Amino acid sequence: MNVVTPKMSSVMFKYFQKALPMRIKSINEYKEPAFFDAMMAVVGPFLTPKIRSRQVLHGRSMVKIYEEIGQEVLPREYLPDEYSGKCAGTTSQIIDEMITSMNEKKFRDYIMDVSGDKYGVDVKIRKQDTTTMDASFRKLNID
């Protein structure tokens, strides 16, 4: 069982906020559990103000999600029939298919493989970057 230590948390926050190779425009949480507000109260101060401002909690309201990101962004083929006509089947059919596929041996073997200690980074042998950048590339003035 992996335990999240303060050092590991620090590395994860640095990766998420500074090294993740994608631009995060918003983080939309839907049907978040009751303890999520308490967890965000603890984790929030470690996030940059930019990331914190881009996090949106929707509770259980699909209307809020559609107002935030728009229904046209969600692919029709993945939406249950209850949301936009005949597409992927009813919600209960989709859940049953997912449970069936998750109980297959092939899926379980895959999850056991990727969640083991087989993959990872040994931070101790990683080359440390000793140079620091004082400006971003956007601010460089080139003659």
Rg (CA), the chain: 21
pLDDT at 134 over 60: no
pLDDT at 32 over 90: no
> CA angle, 105 as apex, 99 and 108 as ends, to 5°?
70
Q: What is the pTM of this model?
A: 0.46
pLDDT at 24 over 50: yes
pLDDT digits (tens, 9 = 90+) for 8-21: 777 777 887 778 88
Set out the domains of the chain in order of their start, with CATH numbers.
1-74 (3.40.525.10), 75-106 (no CATH)
Provide DSSP, 76-104.
GGGS-HHHHSSSS--HHHHHHHHHHHHTS
Q: According to the model, what pLDDT value does residue 99 have?
A: 92
Q: According to the model, what pLDDT value does residue 2 have?
A: 62
- Once rounded to an integer, what is the mean pLDDT over residues 80-95? 79
Q: According to the model, what pLDDT value does residue 139 have?
A: 59
